[in-house]
C-alpha cells in the first residue's frame, strides 16, 4: 500500500514537473507591428523584449516607445511572452509587480482585442504591439525580428 502511495505521489510530481516542458514547438503565429511613420524596420528579440519591459524607453530616433500588450489571459500574449521574453506571462507579471512596488515603473497599456491593438498602433507614432499573423495590417507596419 505504501509503495502504491509513494509511486502515485512520485508520478503526480513527475507530471507536474514535465507539464511545462511538453509544449509542442509551433510556428510563430503573431506579427510585431508599429506605426507607419516609424523608421525602424527590424529589431532583435532582446530589443523588443526590453521595449515591452520598458528597459528601453525610446526608439532610435528619440520617439517615446509605447508598448501595447494583450490581456494576460490571451493565448497570443502567452506565445509572445514565451518567444520574445523567454518567460511565462506570470513571470512577466511578477516582474511588473516588483517594478511597481519598488517604485521603478508601471507596465504599458493592455488591450482586450486585436482591433484595439491595431487602432492604438495606427494612432500613436511610438506604439509597438503584436497581432495574429492573419490580421489585416492596413495602416500599420510589420517589424522584422532580427536573428
Partner 1 sequence: MIRTTTPFFLTLLSMVLLSGYARGQSKLQIHGYLTQAYAFTDGHQFLGIPDEGTTDYRTLALQFGYALDDNSKLVIQFSHRRMGLSPVMAFEHDVKLDWAFAEYWFTEAIAAKVGKVQLPMGIYNELRDVGTVLPFFRIPYYTYGEGSWASETVDGIVLSTYLLADSPWNFDVSVFYGGWDTIEAGDPSVPVRAHVEDGVGGQLWLNTPVDGLRFGIEAHRSTVSGGSRAAGEKSRATTWTASVDARLERFTFQAESFSYNFGDGSWRSYYAYAGYNINEKLRANAQVDVGRLKLEINEPFFSASADANNRDFAIGFNYKLSPSLVLKVEHHWMKGYLVDDNPPDFFTGDPVKVQYTIIGASASF
Among 17, 24, 26, 147, the residue binding partner 1 under the rule CB under 8 A is 17
CA 84 – CA 82 distance, rounded (Å): 6
42 binds partner 1 (CB under 8 A): no
Among 72, 113, 132, 134, the residue binding partner 1 under the rule CB under 8 A is 72
Reduced DSSP (H G I as helix, E B as strand, rest coil) percent helix, strand, coil of the chain, to 5: 40, 20, 35
Is the Cα dihedral 113, 43, 89, 79 positive or negative? positive
**Which residues in 88-127 contact partner 1 (CB under 8 A)?**
88-91, 93-94, 97-98, 100-104, 106-110
Work out the number of other CB atoms within 10 angstroms of the CB of residue 113: 12
19 binds partner 1 (CB under 8 A): yes
Is 60 or 139 the residue whose CB approaches partner 1 more closely? 60
From the CB of 56, what's the least distance to partner 1, in Å?
8
**Candidate ranges 29-37, 52-60, 130-138, 139-147; the one touching partner 1 (CB under 8 A):** 52-60
Three-class SS of residue 39?
coil
From the CB of 133, what's the least distance to partner 1, in Å?
26
Cα–Cα distances (Å) from 9 to 3, 21, 29, 95, in that order, read 10, 20, 37, 32
Environment class of 54 (CB within 10 Å of its CB; exposed 0-12, middle 13-18, buried 19+): middle
57 binds partner 1 (CB under 8 A): yes
Site size with partner 1, rule: CB under 8 A: 32
Is the Cα dihedral 47, 49, 55, 59 positive or negative? positive
Question: Interface residues with partner 1 (CB under 8 A)?
Answer: 13, 16-17, 19-20, 55-58, 64, 66, 72, 86-91, 93-94, 97-98, 100-104, 106-110
Amino acid at each position: 500500500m505504501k509503495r502504491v502511495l509513494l509511486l502515485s505521489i512520485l508520478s503526480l510530481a513527475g507530471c507536474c514537473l514535465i507539464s511545462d516542458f511538453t509544449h509542442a514547438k509551433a510556428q510563430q503565429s503573431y506579427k510585431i507591428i508599429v506605426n507607419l511613420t516609424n523608421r525602424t524596420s527590424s529589431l532583435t528579440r532582446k530589443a523588443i523584449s526590453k521595449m515591452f519591459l520598458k528597459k528601453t524607453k525610446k526608439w532610435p530616433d528619440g520617439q517615446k516607445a509605447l508598448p501595447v500588450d494583450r490581456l494576460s489571459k490571451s493565448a497570443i500574449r502567452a506565445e509572445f511572452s514565451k518567444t520574445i521574453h523567454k518567460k511565462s506571462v506570470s513571470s512577466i507579471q511578477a516582474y511588473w509587480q516588483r517594478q511597481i512596488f519598488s517604485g521603478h515603473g508601471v507596465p504599458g497599456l493592455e488591450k482586450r482585442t486585436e482591433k484595439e491593438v491595431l487602432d492604438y498602433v495606427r494612432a500613436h507614432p511610438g506604439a509597438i504591439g503584436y497581432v495574429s499573423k492573419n490580421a489585416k495590417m492596413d495602416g500599420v507596419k510589420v517589424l522584422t525580428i532580427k536573428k
